[in-house]
Amino acid sequence: MPEDKAPQQRRGSASLRSASREAAQERRSAPQRRPLVAANWKMHKTIAEADQFLERFIGSIGELEAVDVVICPPYTALAATIERTRRSPVLIAAQNVHESDSGAFTGEISIPMLSELGVAGAIIGHSERRQHFAESDQALARKLAALLAADLLPILCVGETEAQRDGGETESVLITQLDADLAEVPGAKLGQVVIAYEPIWAIGTGRTATPEQAQEASALIRARVAERDREAAAAIRVVYGGSVKPENAAELFDRPDIDGGLVGGASLDPEDFVAICRAA
């Protein structure tokens, strides 16, 4: 965290705790949020493999009407999976997007290109993209605004490293990311953002945050949004990601500020992913 941000964020902490208490008081009267479970397939599954998955998955999710189920395959499988899920409630989203409509950006994919396929949204800011592809909060702010302008669903990932958690920096890291990433979101659209709390130490490691840790961070995220707009904070969906499995999904999703999950490894298996969707 840049040094000059520290005092501002310490001040933010006190008001955040009080906003968190207020948000908890308001929770009883808040509108019911629709749970969302998203599969992040990362760089897994060819079109043929995606097809095999969907045949088994769609066959078993029929009655899951109260949950938004989103699958994020690699770009190469987007068109085929959209076609395959056309008569199902499953939504297909991308794992990343470029904020410009077109231009000299070799290897990138734009929002109009995704919209043309019928893509429903995109994950942005996954820690693997922040880490391996130097994705900055400034770029994420532009991507987020562009997705919302195109009426696509953004799933924004935020989360701390293990060293940051051990150093007591979780709150300041989340605040820094949220403030920067949500900076260009117009107030009227803030409630449409899905925020995935993904502690980096829990992603792909088999180590899951405890329900208490995940709830605490999710409440903090909601409270930070409430400082800007309380209605949006009540509407915004905060999901948890980090080694979610059929065995731990229910107790995580049961927490008041956790509205579902972003699932990596366990979403590659149709039976496991159905079980996780059912838990929501």
Q: How far apart are CA 164 and CA 170, in angstroms?
A: 6
| Catalytic-role residue among 98, 99, 126, 216 | 126
Residues 249-268 that bind ligand PEP (CB under 6 A): 262-266
For residues 154 and 241, which CB has a smaller minimum distance to ligand PEP in the complex? 241
* Cα distances (angstroms) measured from residue 48 to each of 45, 61, 77, 80, 81: 8, 20, 9, 9, 10
126 catalytic, yes or no? yes
Residues 210-249 that bind ligand PEP (CB under 6 A): 241-244
AA identity, residue 177: Q
Among 40, 95, 172, 176, binds ligand PEP (CB under 6 A): 40
Among 152, 203, 225, 234, binds ligand PEP (CB under 6 A): 203
The first and second tokens of residue 254, run together, are 């049961």
| Catalytic-role residue among 128, 160, 171, 198 | 198
Closest distance of CB 263 from ligand PEP, Å: 5
Q: How far apart are CA 60 and CA 65, in angstroms?
A: 12
For residues 10 and 207, which CB has a smaller minimum distance to ligand PEP in the complex? 207
277 binds ligand PEP (CB under 6 A): no
Give the x-and-dash track for 111-140 against ligand PEP (CB under 6 A): ---------------x--------------
Closest distance of CB 253 from ligand PEP, Å: 14
Among 135, 198, 257, 272, binds ligand PEP (CB under 6 A): 198
**Residues forming the site for ligand PEP (CB under 6 A):** 40, 126, 198, 203-204, 241-244, 262-266
